[in-house]
Chains A and B, each alone.
Chain A
Amino acid sequence: NAGVTQTPKFQVLKTGQSMTLQCAQDMNHEYMSWYRQDPGMGLRLIHYSVGAGITDQGEVPNGYNVSRSTTEDFPLRLLSAAPSQTSVYFCASSPNREGVEKLFFGSGTQLSVL
């Protein structure tokens, strides 16, 4: 069982570059989300989706875009990377569309913006 798959695992960008972090899940979960993890700050929600075609902003959405064209995929786009976006990014899914409880996490993407 693959679960939640994130690619790439590591990425280095220059300021101003754009890129897409990929996330796919094979559990038929309707709920998917993106978090960033920074030292001493826990995980902060960037965007989430409760189904194909439906997305919403989380706590720190600025500088990021998402789309949900299929149940399986939930890519995160950085439009113009900034050093403040250096972080570890986690994608997570849940079988519960409402009342999110158990999140299934990917293994993370470590992003450095120079």
Chain B
Amino acid sequence: AQSVTQLDSHVSVSEGTPVLLRCNYSSSYSPSLFWYVQHPNKGLQLLLKYTSAATLVKGINGFEAEFKKSETSFHLTKPSAHMSDAAEYFCVVRGTGRRALTFGSGTRLQVQP
């Protein structure tokens, strides 16, 4: 079975500094991986996806993630944090049946002024 582990439950950065949210995955085959974002009291929104094309994936709002098979990682980064980036971020893997997504436990990003 596929699974994802988000290594940090909370990350706090200052506005204008880089963001790194860490995710490791476990899969017996080449997985499809995603990052979703949830702003307070809202539903989730797809940020970016990796589906076996380029290993460096660019998403919305300046975020990007790199798929590293050797490290089984799919970390999310952004060069410069903005106050509006404060939200909860979920690393997600698609199941073998391709009909279900498995969510990590989430990382809450706090951006300090």
Q: Do A and B bind each other?
A: yes
The answer to the question of B13 belonging to the interface, with a C-beta cut-off of 8 Å to chain A, is: no
Flag if B105 contacts A41 (CB, 8 Å). yes
Q: Tell whether A101 pairs with B51 under 8 Å between CB atoms, given A31-B99, A90-B44, A107-B43.
A: yes
The answer to the question of B32 belonging to the interface, with a C-beta cut-off of 8 Å to chain A, is: yes
Q: Find residues 62-113 in chain B having any chain A CB closer than 8 Å to their own CB.
A: 90, 94, 98-106
Interface size of B by Cβ–Cβ distance < 8 Å?
23
Residue in A closest to B100 when the chains form the complex, CB atoms: A45
Least CB distance, A31 to chain B, in whole angstroms: 7
- List residues of chain B with CB within 8 A of the CB of A44: 103
Flag if B103 contacts A101 (CB, 8 Å). no
Query: Which of under 10, 10 to 19, 20 to 34, or 35 or more describes the interface residues of A?
Result: 20 to 34
Q: Find residues 97-114 in chain A having any chain B CB closer than 8 Å to their own CB.
A: 98-103, 105-108
Least CB distance, A76 to chain B, in whole angstroms: 15
Interface centre among B41, B44, B90 (most CB of A within 10 A): B44
Contact of A101 among B9, B34, B45, B106 (CB under 8 A): B34
A-B contact count (CB 8 A): 63
Least CB distance, A96 to chain B, in whole angstroms: 9
Q: Please report the C-alpha to C-alpha distance between residue A31 and residue B98 in the assembled complex, in whole angstroms.
A: 12
Q: Please report the C-alpha to C-alpha distance between residue A99 and residue B31 in the assembled complex, in whole angstroms.
A: 12
Flag if B44 contacts A105 (CB, 8 Å). yes
Residue in A closest to B99 when the chains form the complex, CB atoms: A100
- A55-90 vs B: 1/0 string, CB under 8 Å? 010110000000000000000000000000000001
Residues of B within 8 A of A (CB): 9, 32, 34, 36, 41-46, 49, 51, 90, 94, 98-106
Taking A100-B99, A101-B34 as known contacts, 19 extra A-B pairs with beta carbons closer than 8 A to each other, sorted by chain A number, are A33-B100, A35-B103, A40-B106, A41-B105, A43-B90, A45-B100, A45-B102, A48-B99, A90-B43, A90-B44, A92-B44, A98-B98, A100-B94, A100-B101, A101-B46, A102-B46, A103-B46, A103-B101, A106-B43
